[in-house]
Amino acid sequence: EDKVVQSPLSLVVHEGDTVTLNCSYEVTNFRSLLWYKQEKKAPTFLFMLTSSGIEKKSGRLSSILDKKELFSILNITATQTGDSAVYLCAAQAISYDKVIFGPGTSLSVIP
Amino acid sequence: NAGVTQTPKFQVLKTGQSMTLQCAQDMNHNSMYWYRQDPGMGLRLIYYSASEGTTDKGEVPNGYNVSRLNKREFSLRLESAAPSQTSVYFCASARYTEAFFGQGTRLTVV
């Protein structure tokens, strides 16, 4: 059965800390790994990863995929209170007919 | 650019009532999805539709039905609402890129 697991489920850090969020997946005919940030409303897209070992960066956020070990990490450096959110990881099948989400990591950044 | 539009945004139902959540996308996407989100559970897939005319069950389909009316529209129906269906519902669509989400429907069943 397809599944996506994230860890930790919740995390509290101080501003300026660096955090690493983990995502592992088992999805038939895997194509890509997606990261989303969810604050109060709908998830907003962060990254799509399709190739192993190639880091994607956007400001203080970066992510990498390991297709051999079936996991991905999302790093956030120099965290700010605005980074407080739930970070969702999802695995997309090659036929685009399934996008399976993990439970999310709830990140709280305190001043 | 409307993207994915969901209606209604909020709804309160009594146990046993029925209702349909509407979703439409204007991005010419083939795939559409319905998720529910409960605290600590992430997004759980209820049903998905890989293309017009096809629908498939996801992780938590019980108590729901769907219709892919055309390429743009994918509706979710609760025939007899139960308190366990109190949740936030998200519709999403995708083609060759990431999934795009509607703004969600907060449903309360009392």
CA dist A92 → A27, A39, B35 (Å): 8, 22, 15
**A98–B103 C-beta distance less than 8 A:** no
Question: Distance from A107 to chain B by nearest Cα, in Å?
Answer: 12
Who's near A76: CB < 8 A, 6+ residues apart?
Answer: A18, A19, A21, A60, A61, A83, A107
Q: Kindly list the residues from chain B whose CB atom is less than 8 angstroms away from the CB atom of residue A104.
A: 42-43
**B100–A41 C-beta distance less than 8 A:** no
Q: Is residue B28 within 8 angstroms of chain A, CB to CB? A: no
Q: Of the candidates B42, B100, B104, which has its C-beta nearest A101's C-beta?
A: B42
Tally Cβ neighbours within 10 Å of residue A36: 22
Q: Of the candidates A6, A43, A102, which has its C-beta nearest B101's C-beta?
A: A43
A55-87 pLDDT, tens digit per residue, is 999 999 999 999 999 999 999 999 999 999 999
Who's near A9: CB < 8 A, 6+ residues apart?
Answer: A103, A104, A105, A106, B40
Bond before A8 cis per omega within 30 degrees: yes
Q: Among all residues of chain B, which has the CA nearest to that of A94?
A: B96
CA dist B54 → B60, B86, B93 (Å): 18, 27, 14
Given this model, what pLDDT does residue B72 score? 96
Q: Is residue B100 within 8 angstroms of chain A, CB to CB? A: yes
Angle at A72 between CA A106 and CA B104, to 5 degrees: 45
B60-104 pLDDT, tens digit per residue, is 999 999 999 899 999 999 999 999 999 999 999 987 767 899 999
Quick one: residue B107, left, alpha or beta (phi over 0 = left, psi -120 to 50 = alpha)?
Answer: beta
Q: Kindly list the residues from chain A whose CB atom is less than 8 angstroms away from the CB atom of residue B99.
A: 34, 90, 92, 99
Q: What is the dihedral of CA A5, A7, A8, A10, to 10 degrees?
A: -40
Given this model, what pLDDT does residue A97 score? 66
Who's near A3: CB < 8 A, 6+ residues apart?
Answer: A25, A26, A27, A100
Each residue's pLDDT expressed in tens, for chain A with a length of 111 residues = 788 999 999 999 999 999 999 999 998 889 899 999 999 888 998 999 998 988 999 999 999 999 999 999 999 999 999 999 999 999 988 765 678 899 999 999 999
Nearest-angstrom CA–CA distance, B81 and A27:
31
